[in-house]
Amino acid sequence: MQKAVLITGCSSGIGLVAAQDLRTRGYRVLAACRKSADIDTLSQLGFETIALDLDDKHSVELAAAEVIALTGNRLYGLFNNAGYGVYGPLNTISREQFEQQFSTNLFGTHQLTQLLLPAMLPHGEGRIIQTSSVMGLVTTPGRGTYAASKFALEAWSDTLRMELHGTGIQVSLIEPGPLSSNFTANVNQSQADRPVENPGIARRFTLPPEAVLPKLHHALENPKARLRYPVTLVAYALTVLKRLLPSRLLDKILRGNS
């Protein structure tokens, strides 16, 4: 039987390339995104589409119900990929901006997963995968709000993995470093006149979103999925440095010129 996988955030970047790739690998892909224009584009590409705004709990409820109906209450994979970034010094971030950052990057993901688990648990198998970030491991000036949401996503995913132990459902995190996608262009900057930008050196290590695919394949298909999948040299390096370096020295490196 064809395995059904729901992918959120399919309008571009990781979500779009993942949807295209998994369809060629024989999965039944349900492609979710927020904007109606993007839903139309995905439909034209031949995907089964789901309208989903993670910042709207009613939208999440409707999306989950539609997934359950379409799959006959049998979902194999959930790729929680959707998210965005709020950038700017913490003293420029309003409570409302902070709440919306967490609403999309964590609360909506939690609600969607909670509502879809009944379509996974009875079957004794499945994979739940989150797109985290290197910013779920470390943070840098100007990215504290986004990093906080990803740190929280990491803790949430770790807890979910332990709570689902023995059910047959495996839980993994994908932790990309710099990728060439629309993410940076879509960042919500708190200071339009002083935007937080990636350091120039990051361009040397930037990879296309397709770099995520081998990790996604392993997380979906290997009998023993890994807990975490760093992507890009930057993500691997910071994973190691966080373990080895004293915190003050790591701070100095991550502060850069600030």
Residues labelled catalytic = 146
Q: Cβ contacts of residue 13 below 8 Å, gap of 6+?
A: 179, 181, 182, 183, 209
Q: Are 134 and 238 in contact (CB under 8 A)?
A: yes
* 3 state DSSP class of 174: strand
Phi/psi at 169 (nearest 5 deg)?
-95, 125
State how far the alpha carbon of 97 is from the alpha carbons of 63, 92, 141, 149, 185, in Å: 24, 10, 17, 12, 18
Whole-number Å distance between alpha carbons of 36 and 206? 30
| Beta partners for residue 41, in sequence order | none
CB 105 within 8 A of CB 149: yes
3-state SS record for 45-104: CCCEEEECCCCCHHHHHHHHHHHHHHHCCCCCEEEECCCCCEECCHHHCCHHHHHHHHHH
Rounded Cα gap, residues 61 and 59, in angstroms: 5
Q: Is 237 exposed, middle or buried (0-12, 13-18, 19+ CB in 10 A)?
A: middle
Query: Rounded to a whole number, what is the largest CA-CA distance in the chain?
Result: 55
